Amino acid sequence: MAIATFGAGCFWGVEETFRKVPGVKNTAVGYMGGTTVNPTYEDVCTDKTGHAEVVQVEYDPAEVSYEDLLDVFWNNHNPTTLNRQGPDVGTQYRSVIFYHTPEQKELAEASKKKMDQSGKWKNPIVTEITPAASFYRAEEYHQRYLQKRGIDSCHI
Contact status, residue 6 vs residue 97, Cβ threshold 8 Å? yes
Which one from 2, 4, 8, 10 is the annotated catalytic residue? 10
Residue type, 4: A
* Helices of type H across the chain: 11-19, 41-45, 66-74, 102-117, 145-148
Q: Is 45 a catalytic residue?
A: no
66 burial (CB, 10 Å; 0-12 / 13-18 / 19+) is: buried
- The helix/strand/coil state of 145 is helix
Packing angle, helices 66-74 and 11-19, rounded to 10: 140
Catalytic residue positions, numbered: 10
